[in-house]
A and B are shown apart, each in its own frame.
Chain A
């Protein structure tokens, strides 16, 4: 089937009526967050199944779906209409919901096939045939949650069985089951007619009565069996319910282990915090030096300048002393100390005058140098310690650690709250109830096996009685019924064997097709394919044929996409695929891989994407395969328009 049109009125952000006409192919609907991509998907789901769920799996109430502007203006109903092409037959499916006076009426479903309205029951059956709600999760889905659906197929509970049953429904297996059921009913009817015919004949009356009695015994045994199976289902439900509870308990034990680990972590952090505080105290003790450093620095510069001046002064003083000694020598000797010529009175007066002009010097001046250097060295040590920086760093680390401790304590109180909520008695009671139900289930299964054996014996016995009647009867009708009976038996055998073989074939086909797709869309060269389980769950195999443990969320999403592709290829009927935010967990290269194959996923594919997820440039790889693009455009606080486009606006 494909959608030929989708019309949405007053649903979510879609104020008024918005209609798009469709054919097969790839449709891209662009919309930024909050503009109605998920609403569009939910509108289709709601039209088909009368309900839809939020991302937490909660059913969304009808009053939450109506457009608030429409409601304020007095239009208190919303409606979604789907035009559907079902293998050439034209279907019109319309669901309407009134939201008035605080009471929610049931939604009203209208379905017509080739212009002929169908009853409510027939409408429900048609939708189920087109795409059952259980299977629809693999066709209309939120890409973010896809891997959760796939992982569902690795569980063993009623929901998994329901999904498996639905998958087998789209793969065409129920036709075999129904045939076997119908043929058995026909066989029994033939048997009853044979017995009745024999009883009516005086010659075979006793045998007829015997066969009728055996048929009654068989009916009673079957009725008994139905009751046993009903009880079995109830016991199984008890076991499953308690298993779920006990699994939650196990999870709580995990929480307890987390509490212990958190407590140990906090203790370690406290120790580290104490050490850091000690280091901080030490650093702070030394930090006064840094505090002083800023005050001392100008003095250090002064000392430096003083030192230079002192050096200059000392040099001058040495030169003066030397000259003084020369003059004193010349005056005392009456001759020049350098050339030896005799000095006259004028020379001596000149030298005496020079001596008089000379500055006074001290032999102690030279000793001032070491004192200034010592003070300089001390100041240099103070300035370069960096104790304040160290103290600040330690302080920051202590604060961070304390913040971590507070966060851990908060985690701890949350975990404790979980544990406190755990009713210990209820756990013990659940364990007892589960064990009792399990034991009873064991006994019940033995009863069922015995009853099954009884039924097989009764069937064989009835068949012998009927064969006996036929062998001795000359009655044409009796002979004809006998042949019909044998034919029906042969048909049952053929349909049963074919069912087993077809199931194996189709499962193997799904595995092969899913593997093909997966290998195409993954970039991991060591991934060799997928392996399927009984429930159609798929595991990744590496090139050594080993199961890849703990695949990433993105890889799981690729596996789920591969399963969808395989189901579509093998389905008895095809269905559109509508993906909301399908590339959320994929990196750009995987996104390109998926985009290349996505149009082949089904006859009709819808991608609901935002610009951060798929830019126009990404779409170039599938440009030729896009049938049409639409933009979800904000037209008011609670209004979105669905516009033909493709600008990615």
Chain B
């Protein structure tokens, strides 16, 4: 009934911008596509988080970034 394929995909837009960002010589540190996917998923899952819940989202985002920069 609907035409879901017609809608713009925000994640695609994000990944495309991230690719361009990484290609610019002045950007020595560029976020990885995987990190962007994970953060976007967190934000989509908590789209309507307010105040108290927002700080939990911030803590999750911090944790994900820290994990991404920690050599495993």
Contact = CB atoms under 8 A, between A and B. Distances in A.
A129 B48 contact: yes
Contacts of B36: 491, 494
Chain B interface category by residue count: 35 or more
Given A185-B58, A490-B29, A494-B17, A178 B47 contact: yes
B59 to A, nearest CB: 9
A186 interface: yes
A175 B44 contact: yes
A222 B17 CA distance: 29
B2 A570 contact: no
Contacts of A352: none
Contacts of A490: 21, 27, 29-31
Give the interface SS of chain A, mostly helix, strand, loop or mixed. helix
A186 B62 contact: yes
Contacts, number: 123
A480 B69 contact: yes
B1 A603 contact: yes
Interface string A122-156: 00010011000000000000000000000000000
A238 to B, nearest CB: 28
Contacts of B58: 182, 185-186, 189
Given A183-B61, A498-B10, A175 B43 contact: yes
Contacts of A502: 8, 10, 13-14
Nearest to A484: B69
Contact of B13 (A178, A186, A501): A501
A133 to B, nearest CB: 13
B61 A569 contact: no
B69 A494 contact: no
B72 interface: no
A24 B50 CA distance: 32
B62 to A, nearest CB: 5
B1 to A, nearest CB: 5
A487 B29 contact: yes
Contact of A505 (B3, B13, B61, B65): B13
A493 interface: yes
A128 B1 contact: no
A570 B7 CA distance: 4
B13 A487 contact: no
A174 interface: yes
A125 B70 CA distance: 35
A600 B28 contact: no
B21 A486 contact: no
Nearest to A24: B1
Contact of B48 (A128, A190, A493, A603): A128
A176 B10 contact: yes
B69 A487 contact: yes
A28 to B, nearest CB: 16
B4 to A, nearest CB: 8
Interface string B39-66: 1100110111110001001100110011
A569 B30 contact: no
A158 to B, nearest CB: 20
Interface string A17-57: 00000001100000000000000000000000000000000
A313 B4 CA distance: 107
Contacts of A174: 47
Contacts of A24: 1
A174 B48 CA distance: 9
Contacts of A515: none
Contacts of B30: 490
A486 B44 CA distance: 23
A179 interface: yes
B23 interface: no
Interface string B12-35: 011011100100000111110001
A250 B69 CA distance: 62
Contacts of A128: 48
Given A182-B61, A189-B62, A497-B21, A569 B31 contact: no
Contacts of A599: 1
A600 B2 contact: yes
Contacts of A489: 29
A511 interface: no
Contacts of B48: 125, 128-129
Interface in A495-545: 495, 497-498, 501-502, 505-506, 509, 513
Contacts of A584: none
B66 A484 contact: yes
Nearest to B71: A480
Contact of B35 (A125, A480, A487, A600): A487
Task: Give the interface centre of B6, B48, B57 by most chain A CB atoms within 10 Å.
Answer: B48
Contacts of A494: 14, 17-18, 21, 31, 36
A166 interface: no
A125 B68 CA distance: 31
Contacts of A505: 8, 13
A480 B70 contact: yes
A65 interface: no
A172 interface: yes
Contact of B2 (A183, A484, A569): A569
A491 B21 CA distance: 10
A487 B46 CA distance: 22
Contacts of B44: 172, 175
B8 A570 contact: yes
B17 to A, nearest CB: 4
Interface string A596-639: 00011011000000000000000000000000000000000000
Contact of B7 (A129, A498, A569): A569
Given A497-B21, A506-B8, A603-B1, A491 B13 contact: no
13 contacts: A129-B47, A175-B44, A178-B47, A179-B61, A182-B43, A182-B54, A483-B29, A484-B66, A490-B30, A495-B14, A506-B7, A568-B2, A603-B1
Given A501-B13, A571-B7, A599-B1, 4 more contacts: A178-B47, A182-B61, A185-B58, A494-B18
Interface of B: 1-4, 6-8, 10, 13-14, 16-18, 21, 27-31, 35-36, 39-40, 43-44, 46-50, 54, 57-58, 61-62, 65-66, 68-70
Q: Please give me the 6 A-B residue pairs with the lowest Cβ-Cβ distance, nearest first.
A: A486-B29, A498-B17, A483-B69, A498-B14, A186-B62, A502-B13
